[in-house]
Structure 1
Amino acid sequence: MRLAFNNFISIYQGLSREIWVLSVVSLINRIGAMVIPFLSIYLADAKGFTLAEIGWVMSSFGVGSLIGSWLGGKLTDKFGFYPIIIFSLFTSGIGLILLKELDTFYEICGGFFLVTLFTDILRPPIFVAIRQYSSEKNRTKSITLIRLAINLGFSAGPATGGLLIATWGYTSLFWVDGVSCILALLIFVLAIQPKKKIVEENDDSLEENKKSQSPYRDFPYLLFILSMVFFGVIFMQYFSTVPLFYKEVHELNEAVIGLLLSSNGFVIFLLEMPLIHWVEKQKKYSTMQIMMSSIVLVLLSYILLIVGHDLWVLFIGMMLLTLGEMLMFPLSNAEAMSRASGKYQGDYMALYTIAFSISHLVGHNLGMQSVNIFGYNYTWTFMIAGLLLCIVLLQLFQFSKKREELSQTAK
């Protein structure tokens, strides 16, 4: 038992102090994001909004996320990651506290748009900071630790939010969310000092070429981002249309559905870091092969939704999805980071986060409309086809990268 514990602890060794601080900042920030799970309930109960009005507020939320991610990349490339992280945490903290003062439909739409914009400006600079404070050897593990903190924060946030609402009402959510951002800001400023220069890991011709190349002109990278958009749209269904499928088709109650969904976060918390540690030691398979395998795992989970009739089959499907998620997100993030270099680092990482902002913006509504028109089984079939397209796009990305490397070598 002691040996197993020591082996588990050793997985986390070798990461820089700054990465641990960024993880703590991410944890506090995401625990504080407890307004989000209760947003629709708050708007209906406390503000008396109709479902249509709530839908528009959620849309303004999604647009804010999309623009914030793009703007975060631009600002990071211009000013560096350090001041932009401070700016995002400060403005989102103040904004969350002020949200409780808004009452009308248009005020709340505008308020949530701005607060989400300020909040998601944080994403690109965090990724750029990870690149600076980690080596190529432990970069994927560093990303995984940040993801672990975010998942833990998302798991703890709703429980904390529910207790706050029951004890002090909805107003307390905005106060605690805002103060948590300010607390994360203080920890970041006190624990991390800005570095004056980002040290490039190599100076080969391909890297020099990327330094002067915008990601929007990087054709292989755009193929990669497109595959992430498709994957994100399909992945999101497990947290929008699939729970409805559990209830309407399998007649599961909310408690069982909650356990199925929470098993995802629990398994990620326990196993993602050891899994990535094991994957990094594998020399037989490339990163791209493992990413494609993760897509196959998610594809199999959708097949089980079509053919499965028992609860244990649904659970296996959820575990397949979780395993695919644990492999795809850290590795795809590291792949995006490996192409980000020089003055366009922020733009590269912004485009990666924008892919999942688009997935949020489009995926939930697209899945619901598909279920309404075609039914569940046809919708799952469409998702399987989309995952096959993801694999094709990743193959094209890999092929384009090889052509690019050959072309640079020839020069």
Structure 2
Amino acid sequence: MNSEQAHSVWRAPRWALAVLLAALSMLGPFSIDTYLPAFGGIAAALGATPVQMQQTLSAYLFGFAFMNLFHGALADSFGRRPVLLAGSAVFTLASIGCALSDSIGALVAFRALQGLSAGAGMVVSRAVVRDLFAPADAQRMLSQVTIFFGVAPAIAPVIGAQLLTHAGWEAIFWCLALIGAALWLAGWRLLPETLPPARRQSFRARHLLRGYRQLGSDPRFLLLALASGVPFNGMFLYVLAAPVFLGEHLGLAPTQFFWFFVSTIAGVMGGAWVSGRSAGRLSPQAQIRRGFLIMAAVSLANLAGNLLWAPALPWALLPIALYAFGWAQMVPVVTLMVLDLFPERRGMASSLQAGIGSAANGLVAGVLVPLVMHSSVALAGASLALMGVGLGAWLYVRPRLGSPH
């Protein structure tokens, strides 16, 4: 679709579309970060153990990861708009269920339902962008979405803590229900359908399985998904290890953790801004090369610094922010390459890419972080290794992609 056709479908300013898609995309992480400050309050109110409280998070993450595999396939078959609206509606009802829960079992069940529905916006919005715009314009739009998206992790814990303090833990989920309802209304009033009926895929099981097999057996798809998903964990492992990294290694009080998240988010938003400015000016390969060069240089410097000195402010936070800056420059470009491998199955491609990323995140969270978090050198080495996996995948697949778009 060219820019004139896109304008006929979406008549409002493009930044407004970016805000709407970013809000839909950030629903998933936002609903995690807002309720984390309330763990203690919820446990006291419902008589829950720490293990049971962890189950409220695990149920959400499992539902989120599982359904990420199918949101896109549903959007390829029934259209983008119905899936986004259904996801917002189910999320709203699940949030109301969480707010009304009077037992930990009920809260776990409704959190799982939240997770099953929250990923629709993140998966389907990528397909919407590529449906509407040519590659350069799509990259600019994805970069804008990333910039707006980056605000969520910074403000969500603050909002959650304020609601907990002034209105109780239930208010957090009532707030999420209001956000879900507002997104449903905005989507119903504003969001166009970007996938014409003639381009939709059959929802028959055999046809779907053929599509999953086609994508899953294509080495280009798998390697591009690894090139975008695995390097993310080079900075995400520091987020997962934040209590130990910031509290033990840097000696910061919890009230000072804010600086770590602000600097990292600033890196993501800055890299996304540069990516948008580079769209149409630099080739996709040149942008990806620049992103990996920044991440590689910063990772090596981070490891060297931790080998030579004990971690300290401010230098210990700077490499993570710069790494995020490099990652955010290349990931919109790689995402578009993933979507364009199978134009007729962009939703499914977005789903599987998100699924591979979620699997990598889960392995890093459950296996790698506990092994390395108590050593700043091991953290830096693990970050370098994760970046190396992504770089290796990109270097291997690059000659097999053909001419750039």
On whether the aligned pair clears a TM of 0.5, the verdict is yes
What's the offset of the Cα at 1:282?
Answer: 2.9
Q: Which amino acid aligns with 1:225?
A: A
Match of 2:15 in 1: 20
Match of 1:389 in 2: 389
What CA deviation, in whole Å up to 9, does each residue of 1:324-382 have, x standing for no partner? 2321332222222232411x21110111111222233222232332136x744234323
Q: Which amino acid aligns with 1:239?
A: V
Classify the secondary structure of the residue corresponding to 1:336.
helix
8 Å CA contact 2:264–2:321 kept in 1: the answer is: yes
Shift of the 39–172 alpha-carbon distance from structure 1 to 2, 3 Å rule, reads closer
- 2:48 aligned with 1:46, yes or no? no
Match of 1:59 in 2: 58
Distance 1:219 1:368 in 2: 28
Distance 1:401 1:351 in 2: 19
What's the offset of the Cα at 1:235?
Answer: 2.7
Classify the secondary structure of the residue corresponding to 2:314.
helix
Match of 1:37 in 2: 33
Distance 1:225 1:100 in 2: 36
What's the offset of the Cα at 1:55?
Answer: 2.8
What's the offset of the Cα at 1:129?
Answer: 0.6
Match of 2:176 in 1: 177
Distance 1:105 1:364 in 2: 24
Distance 1:259 1:176 in 2: 26
Distance 1:341 1:193 in 2: 19
Match of 1:313 in 2: 315
What's the offset of the Cα at 1:238?
Answer: 1.9
Shift of the 339–138 alpha-carbon distance from structure 1 to 2, 3 Å rule, reads same
What's the offset of the Cα at 1:280?
Answer: 4.3
Shift of the 33–222 alpha-carbon distance from structure 1 to 2, 3 Å rule, reads closer
Match of 2:78 in 1: 79
Classify the secondary structure of the residue corresponding to 1:138.
helix
Distance 1:272 1:84 in 2: 27
Match of 2:365 in 1: 364
8 Å CA contact 1:246–1:257 kept in 2: the answer is: yes
Distance 2:299 2:181 in 1: 41
Percentage identity across paired residues of the two chains: 13
8 Å CA contact 2:95–2:177 kept in 1: the answer is: yes
Shift of the 341–311 alpha-carbon distance from structure 1 to 2, 3 Å rule, reads same
8 Å CA contact 1:367–1:379 kept in 2: the answer is: no
Distance 1:197 1:180 in 2: 29
Distance 1:111 1:189 in 2: 24
What's the offset of the Cα at 1:52?
Answer: 2.4
- Map residues 66-215 of structure 1 onto 2, 5 A cutoff: 66-195=65-194, 197=196, 214-215=214-215
Distance 1:28 1:124 in 2: 13
Q: Which amino acid aligns with 1:250?
A: L
Which consecutive aligned stretches of 4+ in structure 1 deviate over 6 angstroms post-superposition?
A: 210-213
8 Å CA contact 1:236–1:359 kept in 2: the answer is: no
- Deviates most, 279-288 or 116-125: 279-288
Match of 1:255 in 2: 255
Distance 1:355 1:293 in 2: 23
Classify the secondary structure of the residue corresponding to 2:193.
coil
Gaps of 5+ in 1: 1-12, 201-209, 406-411
Distance 2:28 2:247 in 1: 29
Aligned counterpart in structure 1 of residue 328 of structure 2, from 326, 329, 339: 326
- Aligned-pair RMSD on alpha carbons? 3.1
Match of 1:355 in 2: 356
- Deviates most, 155-164 or 134-143: 155-164
8 Å CA contact 1:140–1:334 kept in 2: the answer is: yes
Distance 1:197 1:399 in 2: 33
8 Å CA contact 2:91–2:177 kept in 1: the answer is: yes
Match of 1:400 in 2: 400
Match of 1:337 in 2: 339
8 Å CA contact 1:28–1:180 kept in 2: the answer is: no
Match of 1:293 in 2: 293
Distance 2:244 2:395 in 1: 33
- Deviates most, 106-115 or 72-81: 106-115
Shift of the 161–71 alpha-carbon distance from structure 1 to 2, 3 Å rule, reads same
What's the offset of the Cα at 1:308?
Answer: 4.4
Classify the secondary structure of the residue corresponding to 2:257.
helix
Gaps of 5+ in 2: 1-6, 200-209
Q: Which amino acid aligns with 2:356?
A: A
Aligned length: 379
What's the offset of the Cα at 1:130?
Answer: 0.6
Shift of the 105–164 alpha-carbon distance from structure 1 to 2, 3 Å rule, reads closer
Q: TM-score, normalised by structure 2?
A: 0.82
What's the offset of the Cα at 1:140?
Answer: 0.8
Distance 1:72 1:158 in 2: 27
What's the offset of the Cα at 1:19?
Answer: 4.6
- Deviates most, 385-394 or 268-277: 268-277
- Deviates most, 323-332 or 117-126: 323-332
Distance 1:161 1:380 in 2: 31
Distance 1:124 1:18 in 2: 22
Q: Which amino acid aligns with 1:129?
A: V
Match of 1:7 in 2: none
What's the offset of the Cα at 1:141?
Answer: 0.7
Q: Which amino acid aligns with 1:24?
A: V
What CA deviation, in whole Å up to 9, does each residue of 1:20-74 have, x standing for no partner? 3432324545479654224344343223433322333322222111112112022
What CA deviation, in whole Å up to 9, does each residue of 1:148-187 have, x standing for no partner? 2211233333333332222212211111111111111211
